[in-house]
Amino acid sequence: MEWQVEFYTDKNGKKPVIEWLKTLDVKIKAKIFRNLTLLEKFGLDVKEPFVKPLENKLYEVRAKDSKGIYRVIYFAHTGKRFMLLHGFVKKTQKTPRK
């Protein structure tokens, strides 16, 4: 059984990662979705440069292009699911805690 990628939904019914992805260029979206597909297929076996562990069971999906470095924060959830929490463009060397 393959893993499933799910998008966190807030109390107002919004999916922050989906909203963020809508603002991105199609080429970088394709890179992010390629990495999400790797997660679905290979689960926790996916490593750098596609994903990287952060701390406290949080991970980041990693993608970059000439315009920036993009990250999607997620965690592994019960039932072979990954929950995508937040997406952002990275502007510093280290991923910010907040």
Question: Quick one: 38 exposed, middle or buried, by C-beta within 10 A (0-12, 13-18, 19+)?
Answer: middle
Q: Report the chain's C-alpha Rg in angstroms.
A: 13
pTM: 0.88
pLDDT, tens only, 24-76: 999 999 999 999 999 999 999 999 999 999 988 999 999 999 888 999 999 99
> What residue segments make up the domains of the chain, in order of their start?
4-90
**77: burial class by Cβ within 10 Å (0-12, 13-18, 19+)?**
middle
Query: Which homologous superfamily is 4-90 in?
Result: RelE-like (3.30.2310.20)
